[in-house]
Amino acid sequence: MATRYTRSLGSTDKQGVAKEKVDTMRIILSKDGNHHDQQINEWETLWQDNITPWDLGETTPLLSDELHKGLHNHLSYIRKYRDYRVLVPGCGTGYDLFTIAKHISSCANYSPKFDSSFVVVGLDVSPTSLQKADKAIREMMDNDDNDINDLSSQVDIQLKHGDFFKIQNEWVLYSTIDCFLQNRNETRDENLNQDWSPFDFIFDYTFFCALSPKLREKWAMTMTKLIKPQGGKLLTIMFPILENLDPNKPLRGPPFPVKVQDYKSVLEPLGWKVIDGPRVSEKSVEIRKHQELICWWEYDPS
């Protein structure tokens, strides 16, 4: 891809401010659930103030690598599907949405008879982040020099404003399902089963670690509601790994470092199994080397 974006890690001064902000954010986000609205406002403030130390300024090369491999193993089944839905919660500037869309469209191109409806949904609670994502995705599409006839006609990238934890009630039922039905010229059945789980693939990068540890169980429950049972895949990039952090360096990212066990203890009891990982990738960006682990999960409640 030809496009390169200015990294938003900023100057030393800004990193100092960012560290302070991340510390403040950790305190705010650690409070009880009834401060949830305050936490959400805090994210918006961070985006408005350009205090986004987690933002790499581009998609991580690790994701392209994993998707490339995934389309030959964990995600190979998508070639058989007519409809495929992907979710990126806490999508931030949305670079990863474009990467996923590109890989899926290359898969669609793979089979000449592929008549498909692919939707890649980026969800964020901050309107400012979504505006940035909108701009970044348009630029990436304009500057893409690969021979893709018309990416937008093959993959629908949607940006949604909403709270991941309220997604079941407010968001899935009134947007993704509508889009899903629209593709078939159908209208919504008002009695639609509330438990319908629409996503075939969910990608979590710097979202789990952005949430207060008190919300981790709820994170897993929400993931479980959102994934397609039997076969839905979740790719987590576990970051930043607590054991591997250098105590002498400021934390550059969302505020809550993680352990592998933090994911396992909330996902496994709900029927999720690790199908690949946790493992390191040589494709991690330099500043995150040794701090992140790839882990593929499958949800199979049977």
Interaction of residue 140 with ligand SAH, rule CB under 6 A: no
Residue type, 6: T
Given the complex with ligand SAH, which of 54 and 84 has the nearer CB atom?
Answer: 54
Given the complex with ligand SAH, which of 55 and 66 has the nearer CB atom?
Answer: 55
Per-residue b/e over 262-287, b at no fewer than 16 CB within 10 Å? Answer: bbbebbeeeebebebbbebbeebeee
Q: Which of 53, 198, 232, 254 binds ligand SAH (CB under 6 A)?
A: 254
Adjacent-strand bridge partners of 157: 120
Q: Which of 99, 105, 206, 236 binds ligand SAH (CB under 6 A)?
A: 206
Given the complex with ligand SAH, which of 60 and 105 has the nearer CB atom?
Answer: 60
Q: Which of 59, 126, 222, 224 binds ligand SAH (CB under 6 A)?
A: 126
Contact track, ligand SAH, 88-117, x by CB under 6 A:
-xxxx-------------------------
Structure-derived torsion over alpha carbons of residues 64, 130, 137, 177, reported in degrees to the nearest 10: 80
Interaction of residue 210 with ligand SAH, rule CB under 6 A: yes
Shortest CB 89 distance to ligand SAH, Å = 6
138: which residues sit within 8 A by CB, 6+ positions away?
A: none
Shortest CB 211 distance to ligand SAH, Å = 6
Contact track, ligand SAH, 16-55, x by CB under 6 A:
---------------------------x----------xx
Contact track, ligand SAH, 144-183, x by CB under 6 A:
-------------------xxx------------------
Note whether 206 and 239 are within 8 A (CB).
yes
Q: Residue with structure tokens 């993931």?
A: 223
Q: Residue with structure tokens 């985006």?
A: 47
Given the complex with ligand SAH, which of 208 and 296 has the nearer CB atom?
Answer: 208
Q: How many CA atoms lie within 13 A of 1 on its CB side?
A: 20
Count the neighbouring beta carbons within 10 Å of the beta carbon of residue 142: 9
DSSP-derived 3-state class of residue 104: helix
CA–CA dist 281, 278 (Å, integer):
10
Given the complex with ligand SAH, which of 108 and 215 has the nearer CB atom?
Answer: 215
Size of the site for ligand SAH (CB under 6 A): 20
Note whether 238 and 232 are within 8 A (CB).
no
Which positions touch ligand SAH (CB under 6 A)? 43, 54-55, 89-92, 123-126, 129, 163-165, 205-207, 210, 254
